[in-house]
Structure 1
């Protein structure tokens, strides 16, 4: 591991271009992930877009972090696997205290995770001779956590099918989630807690960018409306 590793907060602050999917684009993408996605694609991208989890946080999730009765996911760790080797990974504690959090999820996600657990139990039984059961939710067919590179490759495949030309990465779903929270009228403090930002300025920077984007979109829609009325 590098001696000086940037924290997730520093990486997010340094990110110049905030790319995200509009609501309609997200709906189209997730529908395609359901009809044309490979194993776990639909679940992975739905959870990312509905929770705002970082990709490392998502891949480190274990069944013990999912509370079905309370409808929550507990975030306490992140997966570190710079070489994308299925066995050579580390589970690290998050870089900031704010990253340790409990996220509420809706009924749809709860049901998706329950169905996934049943399917995973079938895979465990089928592959019992090679399955390394460490309790990962997003496990490969051998029980090891899914690789980030696989998620990125699957994402590119689906974006191409969906004819979305934006430079979308797994992190973009975090920004997409933020934009939907803003659109839903959720307050900045609640957004900060949900995303796990210790520094409110990190949230404010993203919030300001998203709000400017929405204001520009509203202005364009208004101009189009007036143009249509005046024709």
Structure 2
């Protein structure tokens, strides 16, 4: 079974060109499945796994109180894995054909109000190199709605200050996203006055670095965000994705069309972007209920 998992992971890397994080998730899910079958059922061959076997594994996950979202992700991994094995004629029948994930209740993401975003973005000091860097990161994240992984992988050549846009690349596509005057001002101050000080003579194309001149990490940015949320007194559970959600929700609340927001966010399916429109509907309904005299 281990050999087939390695073949599948290689296929995701080299043929499907999936992102590193996605491939790691698939591999982790499948190794957990393999361990279950080896230890509980003494199964070592993928050819011995049946639909009943997979259902027993799902039942095991649920009995051990794994979250519905975790079980759903495991189902997606197993379906993709066994479909690959079937296409490659490594198994005669696909045992995952009728495997269905549990229903996952979709929670509305936490978003900040415009006032909370403004308060957060005013926290970094404009008198220290670190403060100027942090403000540039936060301003750009909120101005463009890019993912944190995209933010920390931006290079100097991806930023067009004169025209006010960035080139954001992932494994499948490239998108051009505009940014406004506040983000432009913050980027100019960071790029022209303090970035070289972080590099200390080193050569690097990475836009945002840590204090040692190395590329900023996700964990490093997480600490930056948590620190400023605390100093701002914001009690909401802020994650690096919160500014992305807030960016999209605020655009739609102010009349932006779904298609444009979809393109800026890089969503492949507009139904994902639809969530932010639904959030706006709920907000309007709440305002109506509280304010209309004949509610």
Normalising by structure 1, we get a TM-score of 0.74
Change (3 A) 1:213 1:48: farther
2:267 aligned with 1:160, yes or no?
Answer: no
Distance 2:142 2:284 in 1: 22
Q: Which is higher, the Rg of structure 1 or of structure 2?
A: 2
In structure 1, what is the equivalent of residue 291 of structure 2? 222
Q: In the TM superposition, what is the alpha-carbon distance from 1:68 to its structure 2 partner?
A: 1.9
2:272 is paired with a residue whose SS is: helix
Distance 1:102 1:5 in 2: 32
1:110 is aligned, of 184, 193, 199, to 184
**Any stretches of 5+ residues in structure 1 without a counterpart?**
78-92, 227-231
2:73 aligned with 1:4, yes or no?
Answer: no
Tell whether the 8 Å contact from 2:111 to 2:245 is kept in structure 1 after alignment.
yes
Q: In the TM superposition, what is the alpha-carbon distance from 1:5 to its structure 2 partner?
A: 7.2
Distance 1:116 1:35 in 2: 10
2:145 aligned with 1:55, yes or no?
Answer: no
Select the structure with the greater relative contact order (CA < 8 A; seq sep ≥ 6): 1
Tell whether the 8 Å contact from 2:164 to 2:184 is kept in structure 1 after alignment.
yes
Q: How does 1:111-126 map to 2 (within 5 A)?
A: 111-118=185-192, 119-124=194-199
In structure 2, what is the equivalent of residue 44 of structure 1? 137
Tell whether the 8 Å contact from 1:192 to 1:203 is kept in structure 2 after alignment.
yes
Normalising by structure 2, we get a TM-score of 0.59
Distance 1:35 1:122 in 2: 15
Tell whether the 8 Å contact from 2:198 to 2:210 is kept in structure 1 after alignment.
no
Q: In the TM superposition, what is the alpha-carbon distance from 1:120 to its structure 2 partner?
A: 0.9
Number of residues paired by the alignment?
Answer: 196
Distance 1:185 1:201 in 2: 18
Between stretches 27-36 and 145-154, larger displacement belongs to 27-36
2:221 aligned with 1:151, yes or no?
Answer: yes
Tell whether the 8 Å contact from 2:148 to 2:241 is kept in structure 1 after alignment.
yes
Q: In the TM superposition, what is the alpha-carbon distance from 1:22 to its structure 2 partner?
A: 0.5
2:157 aligned with 1:64, yes or no?
Answer: yes
Q: In the TM superposition, what is the alpha-carbon distance from 1:214 to its structure 2 partner?
A: 2.1
2:106 aligned with 1:32, yes or no?
Answer: no
Map Cα deviations across residues 23-81 of structure 1 (whole Å, 9 max, x no partner).
Answer: 1111111112347995422221111111101000000000100112221100013xxxx
Q: In the TM superposition, what is the alpha-carbon distance from 1:211 to its structure 2 partner?
A: 1.3
**Any stretches of 5+ residues in structure 2 without a counterpart?**
1-19, 29-71, 74-103
Distance 1:138 1:15 in 2: 33
Structural RMSD (CA): 2.9
Tell whether the 8 Å contact from 1:18 to 1:206 is kept in structure 2 after alignment.
no
Q: In the TM superposition, what is the alpha-carbon distance from 1:205 to its structure 2 partner?
A: 2.3
Change (3 A) 1:14 1:111: farther
